[in-house]
């Protein structure tokens, strides 16, 4: 079974702090994604990565950066946390392009971040 783990289930940070959210997958997936989930807004893509050191902006990258130094690990960084970044953050991974299966994403349990 694919396992995607996220470093924390709950996190409370202060405005202006630098925040790191870590995601690790154990199935050698090329593709990894970071989403934020807010009530009524569904899943919004922040950044994704299709290979080590490769990254692409998603729909809402402002205020975030990412790092992919190793294939299994994809980190989301909030350079200076703000209260409007309070949200549920979900990490996902998927197989490389090669058929429909590459669109099947496996999600971690999420990190609920509160910025005060």
Q: How near is the Cβ of 55 to other proteins at its closest, in Å?
A: 10
Which of 25, 34, 76, 108: binder of other proteins (CB under 8 A)?
A: 108
If the CB atoms of residues 74 and 80 are measured against other proteins, the closer one turns out to be: 74
Of 11-19, 68-76, 77-85, 106-114, which part binds other proteins (CB under 8 A)? Answer: 106-114
Read off the DSSP letter of residue 2.
-
Q: What angle do CA 73, 113, 102 make, to 5 degrees?
A: 40
CA nearest neighbour of 2 among 113, 88, 101, 99: 101
Of 14-22, 40-48, 67-75, 79-87, which part binds other proteins (CB under 8 A)? Answer: 40-48
Does 40 contact other proteins by CB under 8 A? yes
8 Å CB contact between 10 and 109: no
User: Across the strands, what pairs with 75?
Assistant: 22, 67
Farthest-apart Cα atoms in the chain, separation: 43
> What is the contact surface with other proteins in residues (CB under 8 A)?
4, 31, 33, 35, 40-43, 45, 48-50, 56, 58-59, 90, 92, 94-97, 100-110
């Amino acid at each position: 079974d694919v396992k995607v783990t996220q470093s924390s289930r709950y996190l409370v940070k202060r405005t202006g702090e630098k925040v790191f959210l870590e995601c690790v997958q154990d199935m050698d997936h090329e593709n990894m994604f970071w989403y934020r989930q807010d009530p009524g807004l569904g899943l919004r893509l922040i950044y994704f990565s299709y290979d080590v050191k490769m990254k692409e902006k998603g729909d809402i990258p402002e205020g975030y950066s990412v790092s992919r130094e190793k294939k299994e690990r994809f980190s989301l960084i909030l350079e200076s946390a703000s209260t409007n970044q309070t949200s549920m953050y979900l990490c996902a991974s998927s197989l490389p392009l090669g058929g429909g299966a590459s669109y099947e994403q496996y999600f971690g349990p999420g990190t609920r971040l509160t910025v005060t």
